[in-house]
């Protein structure tokens, strides 16, 4: 961890915090985090790919961690974050890149490879598969207490999170998202109240890890994090053909609660996903949950390095 360097790079008028390890002349691998994650969620993968001869780069998205807040967090879009990655590559003089994403970082990759495919050598997604850039209707068919519905309601999550410190919010979300059931609150319950204070952290997530996340979210707060992803899922891009022929890998944790979202298993299993990404390999991890890259780092690192070697 001490070998990872930290810098600030100006993109689109904002300074993004970027963690980096590996030679500047090596093939670049850019890691894109989800929520409640941050650059730190890629610590195991960054060190592994750097040791294998790659340049590992993990930014905090705008409004997250140590990156600048956008001037109007409530107007931030997925496309803003996608364009930040393009500007980051340009600022670092990287003409072509491997992208690795998790959770809504996978949605950013889905946009990026559709819009800027000539810049991508290959991509890996976890937690969320490639999704064509279109409004995402995850709420349909799920109760009002579904966490995305609650987080998407302006003011409600702010009040819910505001009762706790940032570290406790991250702790609760990590516990909830590590389970195989979709987080749904009862009618008179808030999302944070689903987790009891006595509930232990997942065994692969240490108090030291929690302290690192807590400090970063203490700095940024949750304004932008609630906007993207939760309040930006309706975005529409005018893309006529979302098919992507770039080499791709989907690391699928079989115990990931996201697989229970309406239509997702069918999309993956019925050929819909493969029709959009013909050069896609899907690897099932029977014990994998939504945080598979932190839960099973050794196995994920092996898959990542195998993919990079094959497509370099």
Asked whether the beta carbons of 81 and 228 are under 8 A apart, the reply is yes
Rounded CA gap, 56 and 118, in Å? 20
3-state secondary structure of 252: strand
**What burial class does residue 102 get, using C-beta atoms within 10 Å of its C-beta: 0-12 exposed, 13-18 middle, 19+ buried?**
buried
Rounded CA gap, 35 and 198, in Å? 23
- Catalytic residues, by residue number, are 103, 230, 290
Rounded CA gap, 135 and 234, in Å? 4
Tokens 């300074």 belong to 15
Q: Angle at which helices 104-115 and 78-91 pack, to 10 degrees?
A: 70
Rounded CA gap, 164 and 157, in Å? 11
Rounded CA gap, 59 and 93, in Å? 16
Tokens 């750097």 belong to 50
Q: Cα(first)–Cα(last) distance of the chain, in Å?
A: 25
Q: What are phi and psi of 214, to 5 degrees?
A: -60, -45
Beta-ladder partners of 280: 248
Rounded CA gap, 45 and 241, in Å? 32
- Cα dist from 132 to 66, 176, 273, 305, whole Å: 30, 27, 9, 26
Other CB atoms closer than 10 Å to residue 243's CB: what's the count?
11
């Amino acid at each position: 961890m001490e070998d990872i360097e930290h810098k600030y790079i100006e993109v689109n008028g904002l300074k993004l915090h970027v963690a980096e390890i590996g030679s500047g002349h090596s093939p670049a691998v850019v890691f894109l985090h989800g929520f409640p994650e941050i650059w730190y969620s890629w610590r195991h993968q960054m060190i592994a790919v750097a040791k294998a001869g790659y340049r590992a780069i993990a930014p905090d998205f705008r409004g997250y961690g140590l990156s600048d807040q956008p001037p109007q967090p409530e107007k931030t879009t997925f496309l803003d974050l996608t364009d930040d990655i393009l500007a980051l590559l340009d600022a670092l003089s990287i003409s072509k890149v491997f992208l690795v994403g998790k959770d809504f970082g996978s949605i950013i990759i889905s946009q990026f490879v559709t819009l800027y495919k000539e810049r991508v050598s290959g991509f890996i997604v976890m937690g969320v598969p490639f999704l064509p850039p279109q409004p995402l209707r995850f709420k349909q068919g799920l109760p009002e207490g579904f966490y995305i519905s609650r987080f998407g309601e302006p003011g409600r999550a702010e009040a819910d999170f505001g009762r706790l410190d940032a570290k406790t919010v991250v702790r609760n979300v990590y516990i909830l998202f590590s389970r195989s059931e979709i987080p749904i609150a009862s009618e008179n319950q808030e999302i944070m109240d689903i987790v009891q204070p006595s509930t232990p952290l997942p065994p692969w997530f240490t108090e030291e890890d929690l302290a690192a996340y807590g400090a970063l979210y203490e700095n940024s707060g949750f304004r932008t994090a609630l906007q993207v992803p939760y309040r930006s899922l309706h975005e529409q891009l005018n893309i006529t053909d979302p098919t992507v022929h770039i080499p791709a890998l989907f690391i699928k944790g079989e115990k990931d609660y996201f697989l229970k979202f309406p239509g997702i298993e069918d999309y993956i299993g019925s050929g819909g996903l493969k029709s959009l990404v013909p050069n896609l390999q899907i690897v099932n991890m029977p014990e994998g949950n939504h945080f598979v890259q932190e839960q099973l780092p050794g196995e994920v690192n092996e898959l990542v390095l195998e993919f990079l070697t094959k497509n370099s």
